Amino acid sequence: MKYRKWMTVGAALAFLFTAQPVYAAPVIVAGAGAPGTEGTQTAGEQQAQETVTQAPGSSQDPASSETAVAAQSPTVVSGQGQNAPGSGNSGSGAPTSNGEVTGIPEGPGGIKSEPVDPVTPEELAAQEAAQAAGTQQSTAQSTGGIDPSKPMVALTFDDGPQPSVGNRIMDCLAQYGGKATFFMVGERVGSYKTEVQRMVAEGHEVANHTMNHKYLQKLGAAQIQAQVNQGNDAIQAACGVRPTLLRLPGGNHNSMVVANAGMPMIQWNVDTLDWKTRNADKTVAAVLNHVKDGDIILMHELYGATGDAVARIVPELHNRGFQMVTVSQMAAAKGKTLEAGKLYSSFN
């Protein structure tokens, strides 16, 4: 019996010396192997564990046994892509440790970044064309739908208002989409408010021809200023719009006038002499034989012959492709800024 007992003890000791140590827990770096394999053991390791914990005569208590089993758990380095418990290989679980976030799409802020295709030359050309079209449209809106690439003229009428002529002029312009600039004498507008209000309503430009049509080069500074300011006041009172342009009676000026007018002064480069000839044919010829892009054409609203001439001039200008615009519209379309104290006779 004693011999057999020593044989049993010797066999156990031999087994312990030859068996693989089960207390050396493997160190597993997460992400180094296939997902879900961390903490697995070989069949030999499991058998060795069972042999040790169940060896005859083992003196381990339950607490020490639990400590031995715990020592076999793999050591996992956190934050290297391990899956959350119960998530399998889906990668869509709660974070498993500090510094690790799973299930968040790629890209800044957790927003998935879509691949960006490079812009082709054709697409770039299309974008540039669209931007150019937008710029052209904005320019057209700021100038009342005028096309700066097409010829234009400014028809201007002095000495009004005079409804018997002015309304005929506006009727004709309305048929062809034209606009005009009316330089009016302040002392007359109070009697013809309805006509002046129609000018504004139909998009024509109301402008100042002084209060009493005095030749300003014969006046002093205070008188010049009074003629200009009172004319502006009278027109504004009649239609609600204060003029921004001035035409000097007779076009006459000197340094005193220029210094005290306080407004852009609009002259002309096509003079029909309608006030002198009172002849429609001569007025028509004076315009159509000389007109070109950017011209400012001078006529007068007082004469019936001028109304007759306009009824022939406007359709022909339209047929020739001219846009009939106000002075301010033409200046804007030509890229000109009208400044107080300066004279302008054309925009060509």
Q: Where are the domains of the chain?
A: 2-80, 151-344
Residue type, 318: H
* Catalytic position from the list 158, 159, 274, 295: 158
Provide mean pLDDT across the span 341-345.
Answer: 98
Nearest partner of 80 among 59, 96, 104, judged by Cα: 96
Whether 61 is catalytic: no
What is the average pLDDT score of the chain? 76
Q: Which fold has domain 151-344?
A: TIM Barrel (3.20.20)
- CA–CA gap between residue 26 and residue 42 (Å, rounded): 12
The pTM (predicted TM-score) of the whole model is 0.61
- CA–CA gap between residue 87 and residue 81 (Å, rounded): 12
Query: pLDDT tens for residues 178-214?
Result: 999 999 999 999 999 999 999 999 999 999 999 999 9
The gap from C-alpha 30 to its chain's centroid, in whole angstroms, comes to 52
Query: In the structure, how many helices (H) and strands (E) does the chain have?
Result: 13, 10
What pLDDT score was predicted for residue 121? 72
Sign of CA dihedral 74, 76, 81, 87: positive
Query: pLDDT tens for residues 99-135?
Result: 333 333 333 333 333 344 455 676 566 556 545 544 4
Q: Report CA dihedral (118, 122, 125, 131) to the nearest 10 degrees.
A: -70
Whether 290 is catalytic: no
- In three-state form (DSSP H/G/I as H, E/B as E, the rest C), the secondary structure along 297-331 is EEEECCCHHHHHHHHHHHHHHHHCCCEEECHHHHH
* Catalytic position from the list 204, 209, 253, 300: 300
- Retrieve residue 180's tokens: 């005009």
CB 235 within 8 A of CB 208: yes
